[in-house]
Amino acid sequence: MKTQKPRLTIYDIARDMGLSPSTISKILHHTGKVGDATRKRVLDYVKATGYVANFNARILKAKHSWTIGVVFSDIASFGFEHPFFGSVLQAFKNYVEVKGYELVFIVKKLGQSELTYYEWCQNKSVDGVLILTGDLNDPSIIELVNSGIPCVSADIIMPNLYSAMSDDKMGITISFTHLLDIGCRDIAAFSGPTSSRAYAERTLAYRNLLVKHNTPFIESWYHDCDGYGVQNAYSQAITWIASWKQKPQAIIAFSDDLAMGLINALKVNKIRVPEDISVIGYDDIAFASLFNPPLTTIRQNKVAIAEAAADALLSLINGNGDILEKPTIIQRIPVQLIIRESTKK
């Protein structure tokens, strides 16, 4: 049986390199000023010897666990391949890892024990939590937000929670304006479940724009789907289209998945896009430019959302509570209209 080698410490490295332990610490933790030649010499030595930092000591010294919990309530059943939240999560991870943090996913079980999110976070001693997406009426999320553990979100809005998200009112407004500019006056809307904060906000923006432009709300020209995904959108669009007494000139779909399912349903009904009806999506997912026709859509800045949420969470973790001076703080990230071929020229 092989005996395990003693763990190399910064004191061993300092002795071998003829430097002080504080200099080694600065180099390994990327702090302080150290000459480039010395830094390179130490890092080359560390790489050659396979040194791994003792993060337990770092945790005890700083009274941090250097971990951030993630609540990801996958109501749309996409998993981590979700076309929007998957990208936000990756950008958030990239940002906080540079600061020395790692992510752990919060679940409601620990071994055989059922726990609330707050109890799980206490058990794991996380420094803060990203509520990526979830049900704002979930008692476990409410308890977590009010627990005193620093929390931010990229999706839900509630008191005492910092949230970074797209400016959905702006997105629907520039979609509506684009359709007016190309001569469309009869504008319908195809939404996902309005139990979702994003779909509810986009629906409200659409209805307010109808009022602003003195356009009546036509019941048959608005539909909110029960469920998610392209196939579900297609099935519901088939039924929705059959209910029309008259075709609208354009449709704003409140996600790209909805737009793709809708366009496929329009094709089945021999309705051409954009010749007969213009369609705008929302998200600018990777496949939007490859769809037939390529989708005019609203591009959300997923990296900016992730980095705004990460900045806020790190500020809260480090004791800066000023960002929560107001009961509810929402940072709205601007969106961009991407014009492709699903709307008329």
Of 150, 117, 135, 128, which is closest to residue 69 (Cα–Cα)?
128
- Residue 84: the pLDDT is 83
Classify residue 233 as left (phi > 0), alpha (psi -120 to 50) or beta: alpha
Walk along the chain (345 residues) and give the pLDDT tens digit of each residue. 344 456 677 788 888 889 888 888 788 766 678 888 998 898 888 888 766 655 445 544 456 788 999 998 755 444 455 678 889 999 999 999 998 899 999 987 666 668 899 988 988 889 999 999 887 788 999 999 999 899 999 999 988 899 999 999 999 999 999 999 999 999 999 999 998 889 999 999 999 999 999 999 999 999 999 988 899 999 999 999 999 999 999 999 999 999 999 999 999 999 999 999 999 999 999 899 999 999 999 999 999 999 999 999 999 998 876 666 655 589 999 999 999 999 998
Intrachain domains 67-165+303-333 and 168-300 with the same fold = yes
- Residue 47: the pLDDT is 80
Topology, domain 168-300: Rossmann fold (3.40.50)
2 phi, psi to nearest 5 deg = -75, 140
| Residue ranges covered by each domain of the chain | 10-53, 67-165+303-333, 168-300
User: In CATH, what number does 67-165+303-333 get?
Assistant: 3.40.50.2300
The tokens describing 33, both together, are: 């000023």
